[in-house]
Structure 1
Amino acid sequence: MQGKKRAINVIALLLVVMVSGLALAAFHFHRNADALWQIVSEKCVPGQQQHANPAPCQQVDTAGGYVTLKDRNGPLQYLLLPVAKISGMESPQLLNPDTPNFFLLAWQHRHLLAAKRAAPVADSAISLTINAQYGRTQNQLHVHISCLRRDIRQQLDQLAPSLTERWQAQTLLRHPYLLRTLTPEQLAQEAVFIRLASEVPAARTQMGQYGMALATLPDGRLVLMAVERNWLKLNRGSAEEIQDHDCEILQQGNEYLNVFSGNTRVK
């Protein structure tokens, strides 16, 4: 009798997960998932080419293959998007070495936060993220350039001595992540998408299931994070969860206002 009850509970749980997954997928497709692409292709790029005015984007670099755009969510959050139509993590274009290195470009544009704030923003407070295929609402690749959650900053600082260039499992915000370190030179040498596909078993054929994030460590290294979608655990693979678009980490009295910025302290 008890075994039958347990089986019923398992089936009920699976049904809940399936319904939740379908609801998330329906929400994903119901919204205007091409809104960002329309902004890039119908406003920013034509405006720059025809009138030397990238608005509403901050910058259009057709030679570099990207634009930057202030996100409506948060006082400092920016997006970096391709000029070309690239849907997201699942796109085979991201595994082509000739595709622009979007995470590198996003990291190079972290200064946008300081410019918008009109005050320095330490690298320790900044993060980059991209969400998995069903952990996003837009079907144009976009890298979020925003503040890191304060609790994630503290956790990464604690983990730093044990992190290496080998992927290792860690739990962030109750979700299983894979973490590995990078030098700034390694970030420039190879796109993080190619690195994930090459180094994590089976990732190459399931790239759309992964979200990715990047932040700094106290010793100047970078930490690359990957989270895989898991419907059974209601995990959509949204790496953006490690970010705080309200930027609490920059509030007065926060110890992270004056901590490391790469190898330079920001005061």
Structure 2
Amino acid sequence: MTTDRRRIALSAGLIGLVLAVPASAGSDPTRDVLWMALKTCVLAKTLANRTFPCLAVDLGDKERPGTAVLRAPGEPTHIVVMPTDTVSGLESTPLRGPRGVAYWKAALSARHFVVDSLKNRVPEADIGLAVNSARGRSQDQLHIHLDCLRPKVLDALDAHGRAVGKVWAPFPVPLAYDRFHAMRVRAADVETFNPFAAITTLPGRRDLTRTTFAAVSTRPGDPEPGLILLAYRGRQASAEDIMDHGCAIAEQRRARPAG
């Protein structure tokens, strides 16, 4: 086996380990493992124009920062989007500017990987995006999670999503047992929106190391379509909890009678 192939094989195993490990507090060298795996993807793209173990690698240019997309082993619908540059997490100051917009656009564009893995049984509107807090994540390289939303979260959005306005306000009911604030992003503004900047205006004491956020599409029939941004603060805040990495909604849709 060549050196490059060994690195790629090792990286694939590391990705599986990283995404399966629960978040831990304090200094821990394993919190850099995802970054090591990412560099293997970049090396494969640079040397051989291959993306493995990532699904996609965009090296970027002077105008656009690079990004990579990978799938969590054993979780076919769980996708992660990362910068190819060093960015520790949502608390990083540069994310408040154009880089934050670019990374978010890349994540929005990657939702099709989830839909494709389900053979289009689940619409893109049922796919959520989430970034965990510093203590709610297992790695210190920014990574945006994409996956199906929990059925009960979708039910809550169906019931209350239309009431979400353009400024932060408490969402009427808990989502995955957490109390979120919510704000609406109009469809016309989604492409230029920066959630990393928007969370700095979340009501209450500003502490980005304890902040987490997610984004979901407005539900069908909403008179003002776009996205709903959800955020809250907590010691180990994890908006990823609104996701279902088993994607039960896909089985529900499969079992639903036609007509």
TM-score by length of 1: 0.77
Structure-to-structure mapping, 1:76-225, within 5 angstroms:
76-170=77-171, 171-198=174-201, 200=203, 202-203=205-206, 206-218=207-219, 219=222, 220-225=225-230
- What SS class does the counterpart of residue 122 from structure 2 fall into? coil
Change (3 A) 1:246 1:95: same
Give the Å deviation of 1:195.
Answer: 1.6
Give the Å deviation of 1:31.
Answer: 6.0
Structure-to-structure mapping, 1:20-59, within 5 angstroms:
24-26=24-26, 29-30=27-28, 32-41=30-39, 43-59=40-56
Q: Report the AA paired with residue 156 of structure 1.
A: L
Change (3 A) 1:256 1:143: farther
Aligned residue pairs, count: 227
Preserved CA contact (<8 Å) 1:101 1:190: no
Preserved CA contact (<8 Å) 1:24 1:134: yes
Preserved CA contact (<8 Å) 2:121 2:253: no
1:66-90 superposed Cα distances (whole Å, 9 cap, x missing partner):
0101112522111000010001012
**Structure 1 vs Structure 2: percent identity of aligned residues?**
25
User: 1:249 aligns to what?
Assistant: 249
Give the Å deviation of 1:121.
Answer: 2.6
2:251 & 2:115 partners in 1: Cα distance? Answer: 14
1:31-61 superposed Cα distances (whole Å, 9 cap, x missing partner):
61111111112x1111101110111011111
Q: Report the AA paired with residue 133 of structure 2.
A: A
Q: Report the AA paired with residue 101 of structure 1.
A: A
User: 1:6 aligns to what?
Assistant: none
1:122 & 1:189 partners in 2: Cα distance? Answer: 23
- Structure showing greater Rg: 1
Give the Å deviation of 1:127.
Answer: 0.4
- What SS class does the counterpart of residue 134 from structure 1 fall into? coil
Preserved CA contact (<8 Å) 2:101 2:192: no
User: 2:233 aligns to what?
Assistant: 228
- The structure with higher relative contact order (CA 8 Å, sep 6+) is 1
1:197-237 superposed Cα distances (whole Å, 9 cap, x missing partner):
1464543xx212111101112223211000211x4xxxx11
Preserved CA contact (<8 Å) 2:24 2:137: no
1:222 & 1:36 partners in 2: Cα distance? Answer: 28
Preserved CA contact (<8 Å) 1:144 1:240: yes
Give the Å deviation of 1:185.
Answer: 2.8
In structure 1, runs of 5+ residues without a counterpart are 1-22, 259-266
1:238 & 1:198 partners in 2: Cα distance? Answer: 19
2:37 & 2:188 partners in 1: Cα distance? Answer: 32
TM-score by length of 2: 0.80
In structure 2, runs of 5+ residues without a counterpart are 1-22
1:224 & 1:138 partners in 2: Cα distance? Answer: 23
Change (3 A) 1:179 1:257: farther
